[in-house]
């Protein structure tokens, strides 16, 4: 479904003037920022996640590197 929608959007863009394409790009950027903001607010609304973030920030300030798992151990084949 996503692929078909992207094709449809690309086809519509090809038929627009440069001015209208700029309007479309601006709107798409707005939607992207809105989605990112919603995700941020969702994280901040979670008491559990917020307390984990605060605990991590405290550990960082105290220089407690041993409280963290090294990236090399966390990372998966990406």
Q: How many domains does the chain have?
A: 1
Residues of the domain holding 40: 2-65
What are the pLDDT digits (tens) for 23-48? 999 999 999 999 999 999 998 899 99
Using pLDDT thresholds of 50, 70 and 90, give the confidence band for residue 10.
very high
Using pLDDT thresholds of 50, 70 and 90, give the confidence band for residue 21.
very high
Q: Is residue 75 part of a domain?
A: no
- Between CA 11 and CA 13 the distance in angstroms is 5
Q: Is residue 22 part of a domain?
A: yes
Q: CB within 8 A of 68, min separation 6: which ones? A: 56, 59
Q: Is residue 25 part of a domain?
A: yes
- Arithmetic mean of pLDDT, 15-30: 97
């Amino acid at each position: 479904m996503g692929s078909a929608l992207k094709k449809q959007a690309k086809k519509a863009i090809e038929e627009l003037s440069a001015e209208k394409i700029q309007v479309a790009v601006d709107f798409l950027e707005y939607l992207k920022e809105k989605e990112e903001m919603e995700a941020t607010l969702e994280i901040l609304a979670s008491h559990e996640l917020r307390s984990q973030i605060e605990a991590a920030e405290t550990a960082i300030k105290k220089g407690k590197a041993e409280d963290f798992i090294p990236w090399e151990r966390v990372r998966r084949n990406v």
